[in-house]
Amino acid sequence: METSLLLGIATFAFITSVTPGPNNMMLLASGAQFGFTRTLPHMLGIVFGVSMLLLSVLLGLGVLFQLYPIMYSVLNIAGAAYLLWLAFKIASGPVNGISSENSRSTKPFTWWQAALFQFVNPKAWMMALGSVSTFSLPGNDYAESGAMIMLAFALLGLPAISLWAGTGAKLRLWLNNPRRQRGFNLVMGTATAATLLLIVEV
């Protein structure tokens, strides 16, 4: 594979992974609520889920959306509804001091919850469909180019999303106050819901 193509894949993977979206807003909130270590399964689940989503598109799922556009519309609606529910849960989170024992009464996303979320995450679909349609090569090079796309998202996606969880974890001490935490929860919930404006086709 040409170096320019590899560079293009790597750049696309990092930029789409690090820019704001549902995953990163949720990781920022999770890092603040639970800390970086307890958010690790969430991050690993995202990486695994994106890999499985990419694989499904490479194996032909993306073609179904081209043949039956209504399927993509239904997916967008389902993903938007679930994302709004998650945004509500974030906005209405506990407000008794973020580093108190009450933060232990709620649980961060497990790896499998985060992995499954990618299949209803509109931005994850955009990333998967966009990368496969742009960077996969036809013929005998299809499998190799597909493997490189998956590898790029796995290797560059984890450090990219870790920045968001790490930033949230740094805010834990500042948020050890119910009033600040309530405001933070509302901002994060609103920001999570607002990502729909950037990624869902109207």
160-186, pLDDT tens digit by residue?
999 999 999 999 878 877 888 888 888
Higher-confidence position of 25 and 3: 25
What's residue 102's pLDDT? Answer: 47
Per-residue pLDDT at 116 exceeds 80: yes
What's residue 50's pLDDT? Answer: 97
Half-sphere exposure of 47 (CA within 13 A, CB side): 19
What's residue 9's pLDDT? Answer: 94
Per-residue pLDDT at 84 exceeds 70: yes
What is the CA angle 163-169-172, rounded to 5?
150
Residue percentage of the chain with pLDDT more than 70: 90
Could you tell me the two tokens for 26? Answer: 């949720």
* R_g over Cα of the chain: 18
Tell me phi and psi for residue 80, to 5 degrees.
Answer: -65, -40
pLDDT in tens, 49-75: 999 999 999 998 767 767 777 877 787
Mean pLDDT of the chain: 86
What's residue 95's pLDDT? Answer: 64
Contact (Cβ atoms closer than 8 angstroms) between residue 177 and residue 40: no
Tell me phi and psi for residue 106, to 5 degrees.
Answer: -110, 160
* Domain boundaries, given as residue ranges, for the chain: 3-199
Neighbouring residues of 52: CB distance < 8 A, sequence distance ≥ 6: 115, 118, 119
Per-residue pLDDT at 99 exceeds 50: no
